[in-house]
Structure 1
Amino acid sequence: MDSTKDRIGQRRSSTLTSIARDAIEQLIISGELSAGDRINESALAARFDISRGPIREACRSLEYAGLIRNVANHGAYVREMSLEEARSLYEVRRALTALVGELLVERATPELIAELESLVEQMGEAADCEDLDDYYQLNLKFHDTMMEHAGNTALARYYDDIIKQLHLFRRRGLVQRGNLKASNAEHVVIVTAIAARDAEKASKALRDHVMAGWMRMEQALTDP
């Protein structure tokens, strides 16, 4: 009986840790928690109505994912990433995303293409209104949708590791006026190439899009 209770307790703790991890990760993605911010365990425990234990475990897990750094005797902080570290991740993302384009040319259904076109249209509306929050979430959904339908679990795992870390930076590259429309114009090229079943153009469009995103982000961070 005691071992059963222990297993139930461990499962509940693991579930709460997963919930806390997802919630903290979303705070980072949304920008509510920014690079360098300290993770207030007490405040988050109260906010999520759980104990501090799962929050602490979630922070350890997010440290492994590259989103948080734990400092002995000081607590956990959202990771601050250097431009050089970000550039390296963008270069890896460029290669992975190019493969996504090639696979989608082979595997995309008419329904998927229609969904991507709808997301591009919605992003266009958000760009017209300069609605960064709405655009950013739609942008994440656009790229996640492509990855989900690429049909390669190993690729998805590596891509997810890169993208989680880039959340510390990606949003900043869209802040400058005009960048939303420039970004979405690149999405149009990507979907058009996939719909035309042109693997070379789809791969190139995605490579170019990733590195254009890097250049927008670098400019946003280095301009006075």
Structure 2
Amino acid sequence: MAVSPTQATQSDVVDAIRRDILDGELVAGQRLVEAELSEWLGASRGAVRGALIDLTHEGLVERIANRGARVRVVSIEEAVEIIEVRAAVEALCAAKAAEKITDEEIAELRQLGEDMSAAVASGDVGTYSRLNTRLDERFIAISGQKVAAETIARLQGRSVRHQYRLAYRPGRSQISLPQHLAIIEALARRDPTAANRAVREHLASVLDAVREVASSRWEPSGGR
């Protein structure tokens, strides 16, 4: 988790803690002790305290009276709402991206698809998860929808991904890979309707998986 041998700034601390939460290194409900974070990150207690306040505003951290800070726990009810909003906004972005995508961007996304397929074939779930994130980032950027992108960024601060860690659920990548490839192919065909539908179908599957994880109380051995 360490940032650098020199003293980290508050911004450095925010970035490091955010990254560790979203990567699953810090899990939902885990206490965030200022003294420990200060030592690990090479930052002052003041920088750590300010960073935790910033991350509370982002929705990644929550402060409990008389108990300090912890990684925020997302309820199943909130998780469902987040995914439903994501489905609407990301589907819009996919449709817009299909109208604007260039030949170079199509080649880039198809390469991403090939890399995702290779990661699943080799059982490299961590790489597959990172490539999933990259695919989302790229088609959202290609869409040019700034307000939608800002909305999605705010939702990521309250993301269920770090808590439910779906990529590490046995068999999940085999289910989600064809869905991601369908999104890529719809974009490559420049078909807005198909791209919109592919994103909605994928996130409907994510919603089903979150409900299943919540009901089974399955706990992964690591990752997200």
Q: Could you tell me which amino acid in structure 1 is paired with residue 213 of structure 2?
A: A
Task: Give the Cα separation in 2 of the matches to 1:168 and 1:80.
Answer: 11
Q: Is the 8 A contact 1:39 1:78 kept in 2?
A: yes
Q: Deviations over 1:142-170 (max 9, x none)?
A: 11121122212211110111123115546
Q: Could you tell me which amino acid in structure 1 is paired with residue 53 of structure 2?
A: R
Closer/same/farther in 2, CA of residues 170 and 42 from structure 1, 3 Å limit: closer
More helix by share: 1
> In structure 1, what is the equivalent of residue 159 of structure 2?
166
> In structure 1, what is the equivalent of residue 135 of structure 2?
142
Closer/same/farther in 2, CA of residues 45 and 168 from structure 1, 3 Å limit: farther
Task: Give the Cα separation in 2 of the matches to 1:167 and 1:82.
Answer: 9
Q: Is residue 66 from structure 1 mapped to residue 59 from structure 2 by the alignment?
A: yes
Partner SS, residue 27 of structure 2: coil
Task: Give the Cα separation in 2 of the matches to 1:72 and 1:179.
Answer: 37
Displacement of 1:221 in angstroms is 2.8
Match for residue 205 of structure 2 among 195, 208, 212: 212
Q: Could you tell me which amino acid in structure 2 is paired with residue 97 of structure 1?
A: E
Q: Could you tell me which amino acid in structure 1 is paired with residue 179 of structure 2?
A: E
**Equivalent residue pairs, number:** 211
Partner SS, residue 91 of structure 1: helix
Which aligned pairs between 1:102-121 and structure 2 lie closer than 5 A? 102-121=95-114
Displacement of 1:102 in angstroms is 1.1
Task: Give the Cα separation in 2 of the matches to 1:164 and 1:139.
Answer: 17
Task: Give the Cα separation in 2 of the matches to 1:217 and 1:167.
Answer: 8
Partner SS, residue 50 of structure 1: coil
Q: Is the 8 A contact 1:174 1:217 kept in 2?
A: no
Match for residue 177 of structure 1 among 170, 180, 196: 170
Over the aligned positions, Cα root-mean-square deviation in angstroms equals: 1.8
TM-score by length of 1: 0.88
Q: Could you tell me which amino acid in structure 2 is paired with residue 185 of structure 1?
A: P
Q: Is residue 132 from structure 1 mapped to residue 112 from structure 2 by the alignment?
A: no
Task: Give the Cα separation in 2 of the matches to 1:125 and 1:190.
Answer: 17
Question: Gaps (5+ residues) in structure 1?
Answer: 1-12
Task: Give the Cα separation in 2 of the matches to 1:79 and 1:170.
Answer: 9
Task: Give the Cα separation in 1 of the matches to 2:170 and 2:207.
Answer: 16
Which aligned pairs between 1:1-224 and structure 2 lie closer than 5 A? 16-169=9-162, 172-223=165-216
Task: Give the Cα separation in 1 of the matches to 2:163 and 2:73.
Answer: 13
**Range that drifts further, 76-85 or 114-123:** 114-123
Rg larger in 1 or in 2? 1
Task: Give the Cα separation in 1 of the matches to 2:38 and 2:163.
Answer: 28
Q: Deviations over 1:167-220 (max 9, x none)?
A: 554652222222102111111111111111111111000111111112122212
Task: Give the Cα separation in 1 of the matches to 2:93 and 2:183.
Answer: 11
Q: Is the 8 A contact 2:61 2:70 kept in 1?
A: yes
Q: Is the 8 A contact 2:74 2:160 kept in 1?
A: no
Closer/same/farther in 2, CA of residues 69 and 84 from structure 1, 3 Å limit: same
Q: Could you tell me which amino acid in structure 2 is paired with residue 92 of structure 1?
A: V
Q: Is the 8 A contact 1:70 1:76 kept in 2?
A: yes
Task: Give the Cα separation in 2 of the matches to 1:170 and 1:160.
Answer: 17
TM-score by length of 2: 0.88
